Amino acid sequence: MIIFQKMVYHKPALLEESITGLNIRPEGVYVDVTFGGGGHSLAILRQLGKKGRLFSFDQDIDARVNVPDDPRFTFIHANFRFLRNFLRFYSIEKVHGILADLGISSHHIDSMERGFTYLEDSNLDMRMNVFSSNAAADILNHYQAEELVRVLREYGEIQNAAYLARLIIKLRQNRKIKTSYDLISGIQAFLPEKNRFKILSRIYQALRIEVNDELGALKDFLLQVPEILFKEGRIAVISYHSLEDRLVKNFFRSGNFTGHVEKDFYGNPVVPFRLINKTPVIPGTSEVSDNIRVRSARLRIAEKI
């Protein structure tokens, strides 16, 4: 059996904690729904026996370069919101464990042509799937004011989003917004020196979430998990901002996105999962010092009841 990897984007966040949390069975069937650089997948493969199987999803075609040469492994070039459909295509009805690392990879940030960073003058793209239609520039140039306010307020949690939306609309009346510097130069009035990078990070987060429908995809994915997991199967999810973490927390707790726990006729809670960790696992100081990008990572693990 040969396992190789041509390129590793970065050391995966909370690698040992997430793999341990899955409680891997050597002959089990597992899914890594965010393959990326393949680090988590390789760690799962190391714990699988000859009859074990691993399916890994990634909507980014670049991830193919990291696919291991291993007969137990199947790569699926698709968004994880289509989890159930693709597993059924491979005659898989249930699995023993699922892992999701929701953060964008260092590969995305470091590939300037992908437009995920404001630190260089790059095209405002931000598509994780390069074959999808809307890029960040399309949103900035074509969304109406109320749509821009919604994106900036809901996904970036930006105060005074209406003022920022007005600046963007004024900017695009003179010229199309194509690059990061086009955007930044036109919204200087919204970027005080003290909080400049924090605000830009939130703007970029909001645009990225809208471009890729990240929260919609996460909801679609989570709703399928109770049906797909075997009893006592586990799911481990690593999130990087409060919007994702809140959805995961509420769903693990209650089986819905409000966090409200339904009860049966006798007053017993009706929930699909048992929480393995009631508070999220966070990276230690040594991991953060090795990779500052994991500092906001939060790991939650649940077991199917």
Q: Quick check: is 6 in a domain?
A: no
Tell me which residue of 28, 20, 22 sits closest to 50, measured CA to CA: 28
| Cα end-to-end distance, the chain, whole Å | 35
**Residues 73, 97: one domain?**
yes
Domain boundary among 178, 212, 246: 212
DSSP letter for 36, please: T
Number of domains present in the structure of the chain: 2
As a whole number, the mean pLDDT across the chain is 94
Q: How many CB atoms lie within 10 A of CB 69?
A: 10
Q: Quick check: is 3 in a domain?
A: no
Please name the residue that has the structure tokens 């130069």: 185
- Is the pLDDT at 207 greater than 50, yes or no? yes
**Rama region for 302: left / alpha / beta (φ>0; ψ in -120 to 50; rest):** beta
Partners of residue 98 on adjacent β-strands: 31, 235
- Is the pLDDT at 68 greater than 60, yes or no? yes
d(CA 289, CA 202): 23
What mean pLDDT do residues 47-69 have?
Answer: 96
DSSP letter for 45, please: H
- What is the pLDDT at residue 1? 38
Domain limits for position 235: 15-106+214-304
What mean pLDDT do residues 34-43 have?
Answer: 96
